[in-house]
Structure 1
């Protein structure tokens, strides 16, 4: 019979207090475990996460960072991980799903659910009993208002939203906050082409951002958020995000330098940040591109593709086995850019399923009844 095994330490304002050594028999061969310290997550679960580093890019990087902070005595008790593991007759355990309720410096993350098994297993019949058990644990340990959205493989997110309404009576929006394809690039798929200078006026430099770029990076962060409803930022929030990205060395910029033939009084003669690429969810083996944004004045010049190619080359040469990203289904220009750089499953001829390339959705819940975070 399945057991909900709870591992805990301290309560928080957003996560309900979890008593120690609680066991509830619910029937079946599934084990649901709740952890509020990363050090308590079993090694077999961590190994499963690492094996699926691309598909767990919304969980694993934060978990690794939280573990490093815990090792130095910095404990954030406002976070939770819930795992679903199956157990066969011989006692062999198979990690199947992990749910996270965590946050960043900018705010609370959505509820993330990442699969640890092949995509072919993710059927409604398979998922419903597992999601039901995860929700029972959530209902016990996470405040309802904290669950402002769910981000997961599409079917997982859709079933979760329906079942959460049945359990809590909180409706969800019919239109997803974000509907995208998860894709990845490796050294084998990377396309190292020569960049063109078409449309550029002057020279360009592709480099990590530094603090003197703060204003330009903040402007692009503000622009990105303004096109990412409902997760908009004010000017102060955009500045804080830009500073965080630069300090953490998680953002590169495409700088356009002045054309020497232009007189200093020419409006376009100063250096400008035309584009940025940020990678904020990075595990030991996989980096994740989380933000690509080009200034409206510099679109159509190949800046995003030029910078993306350089950033991917840097990440893959620095030891990452893969670079992951999500691209919105309706973002045709970005899809073309990423395909040209070497991200798989995005070409018109890519009709065969590729393990690790999946449709993901973020579904939001009634904002009159939840507290919106930011990611």
Structure 2
């Protein structure tokens, strides 16, 4: 489907299958794997699966100006349900109102024609893009934003150059720690921490059953590590999973840490920092960068800063690509919530 603007050189194209995306779009995403981490890994995963041309519950909408890609909007689904609408700018996109407004207007009209209004339950994008799109969407559909954003975070990344050297973290006598990929015997512990993580991530809660399914998939796909602790005097070596770190959106050169959570019983012992350092080093053995999002008001940003993630010490302007992203939810009485 093609929707043209008044200026004939700007147009939007809707694709309902990852297989239909033109090489120019894939090249644009791969040229900036960091900022496209919410979109590119999903496309690449779908390209390895059997095509389903009849599937119409997802789409990608591309805004182009004179054959140059400006914006890519993605409506996709994950294992636990429908994802938010993701909007990724190209590296050449100008994130100023005069440039964005007509393009976001085109995106809103194309999405309205391509997907049911109830499917658009939230939008996640760089701040100026998310706010601009929601304004267009509300004018077009009448569906207003929820009073408070669901998530407002700084996008950061760590490279082999920026990763922090190992520092001595506080240890506690009588405790033995291990940092390793999760295995099948960890599934119940990982599920419990996934459940607790979601309980702090309103409105995207998980049932215990879905948390178990998520843990099983994370372990089977080797996308989660655990920080275990046991007491030296324990004769049968019972270990507890104190913390988890999952990385579920991964492309050729970039891995994304998507979930870090520590059992409240084991907090203030450096578990998250120790595990994030180890996981980041592991990922950087095969990737050029590791990305993550951390809430503006989340004290964990200082943990990630100490691990070598850039722009989290009130110095975002000094690091290219570090920027604020926001997820704006839409009136829950008029949409169908998904999960991510």
What TM-score range do you get, normalising by the shorter chain? over 0.9
Partner of 2:296: 329
CA 1:76–1:354 in structure 2 vs 1: closer, same or farther (change >3 Å)? farther
CA contact (8 A) 1:183 1:357 kept: yes
Report how far residue 161 of structure 1 moved. 1.5
Partner of 2:287: 320
CA contact (8 A) 1:195 1:306 kept: no
Output the CA distance in 1 between the equivalents of 2:83 and 2:129.
Answer: 17
Output the CA distance in 1 between the equivalents of 2:100 and 2:277.
Answer: 37
Report how far residue 77 of structure 1 moved. 4.1
3-state SS in 2 of match to 1:346: coil
Partner of 2:207: 234
Partner of 1:342: 308
Partner of 2:133: 160
CA 1:230–1:328 in structure 2 vs 1: closer, same or farther (change >3 Å)? same
3-state SS in 2 of match to 1:216: helix
CA 1:24–1:373 in structure 2 vs 1: closer, same or farther (change >3 Å)? closer
Partner of 1:16: none
TM-score by length of 1: 0.87
Report how far residue 26 of structure 1 moved. 3.0
Report how far residue 311 of structure 1 moved. 0.5
Output the CA distance in 2 between the equivalents of 1:337 and 1:63.
Answer: 31
- Structure 2 residue 335 is matched with structure 1 residue 362: no
Alignment partner for residue 272 of structure 1, among 232, 235, 240?
A: 240
Partner of 2:15: 35
Partner of 2:273: 305
Partner of 2:41: 61
Report how far residue 192 of structure 1 moved. 2.8
TM-score by length of 2: 0.95
Alignment partner for residue 105 of structure 1, among 67, 79, 83?
A: 79
- Summarize deviations over 1:326-374 as a string: whole Å, max 9, x none: 0000012x111100111000124x2634221010000001111100000
Output the CA distance in 2 between the equivalents of 1:316 and 1:357.
Answer: 18
Report how far residue 284 of structure 1 moved. 1.0
In the TM superposition, 1:1-375 aligns within 5 A as 6=1, 23-28=2-7, 29-70=9-50, 76-87=55-66, 93-118=67-92, 121-199=94-172, 201-259=174-232, 261-262=233-234, 270-317=238-285, 319-332=286-299, 334-348=300-314, 350=315, 352-375=317-340
Output the CA distance in 2 between the equivalents of 1:163 and 1:103.
Answer: 23
CA 1:118–1:180 in structure 2 vs 1: closer, same or farther (change >3 Å)? farther
Output the CA distance in 1 between the equivalents of 2:228 and 2:173.
Answer: 11
**Structure whose CA Rg is larger:** 1
Output the CA distance in 2 between the equivalents of 1:340 and 1:359.
Answer: 19
3-state SS in 2 of match to 1:243: helix
Q: Please list every run of 5 or more consecutive structure 1 residues that lacks an aligned counterpart in the other structure.
A: 1-5, 7-22, 88-92
- Summarize deviations over 1:107-136 as a string: whole Å, max 9, x none: 0000000111257x2011111100111111
Q: Please list every run of 5 or more consecutive structure 2 residues that lacks an aligned counterpart in the other structure.
A: none
Report how far residue 211 of structure 1 moved. 1.1
CA contact (8 A) 1:170 1:365 kept: yes
CA 1:201–1:144 in structure 2 vs 1: closer, same or farther (change >3 Å)? farther
3-state SS in 2 of match to 1:166: helix
CA contact (8 A) 1:192 1:309 kept: no
Output the CA distance in 1 between the equivalents of 2:292 and 2:31.
Answer: 17
